[in-house]
Amino acid sequence: MKFYLKAITPIFVFAFFYSFLSICLGARGFFARQQLKRQHEVLVRHVQLLSDIGEDLNIRIANLSSDPQTIVVYAHELGYVQKNERLIKLMNFSGAAERTEDAGVVYLIEAPRYLPDTVCKTIAVSMSIIVIICEMIGSKKNAHSKKSS
């Protein structure tokens, strides 16, 4: 094998492995992009849920601001009465519905998992060294076979 091919082959192997690992498993690779895409979809659903909760609360605020019947119902649930109005409270019975407002859940953003650049370079250099060793072994075998003949 010619000398320039022996020198270019490890460089080509390094470039190939480094490019492949960076594109597939690197910080901006396909694997990290898929993780970010899934998180984006979850965040969009989460924001939509919070938006729906906000709309529901705005409707309740509007009803409590303008509709007297709604105000009366909420006041009765809290135990308030108007003048000359009487409520009968039954023992061991709570007619008032417990109102708990859902403020949503906390969603923690995870950093995507990827192969660091130093690891990609280390693997690529290792593959280049393996190619160099294979070339050295092959050239020694060729030299040894030429001596024998």
pLDDT in tens, 80-119: 777 777 766 667 666 555 667 777 778 888 899 999 999 9
Residues 38 and 18 in one domain: no
Number of domains making up the chain? 2
Residues 108 and 120 in one domain: no
Residues 35 and 91 in one domain: yes
Residues 76 and 131 in one domain: no
Residues 129 and 146 in one domain: yes
Residue 63: partners with Cβ closer than 8 Å, 6 or more residues away: 70
Residues 52 and 88 in one domain: yes
Residues 67 and 50 in one domain: yes
Task: Answer whether 24's CB lies under 8 Å from 120's CB.
Answer: no
Q: Is 31 exposed, middle or buried (0-12, 13-18, 19+ CB in 10 A)?
A: middle
Residues 94 and 50 in one domain: yes
pLDDT, one tens digit per residue, over 19-62 is 999 999 999 999 999 999 999 999 999 999 999 989 988 988 88
Find where tokens 């998180």 sit.
Answer: 39
Residues 88 and 135 in one domain: no
Residues 36 and 103 in one domain: yes
Q: Is 88 exposed, middle or buried (0-12, 13-18, 19+ CB in 10 A)?
A: exposed
Give the model's confidence band at 149: pLDDT under 50 very low, under 70 low, under 90 confident, else very high.
low
Residues 43 and 84 in one domain: yes
The whole-model pTM stands at 0.64
The residue segments making up the domain with residue 61 are: 31-113
pLDDT, one tens digit per residue, over 119-134 is 999 999 999 999 999 9
5 pLDDT above the threshold of 90: no
C-alpha dist (Å) from residue 10 to 22, 83, 138: 18, 93, 14
Residues 38 and 84 in one domain: yes
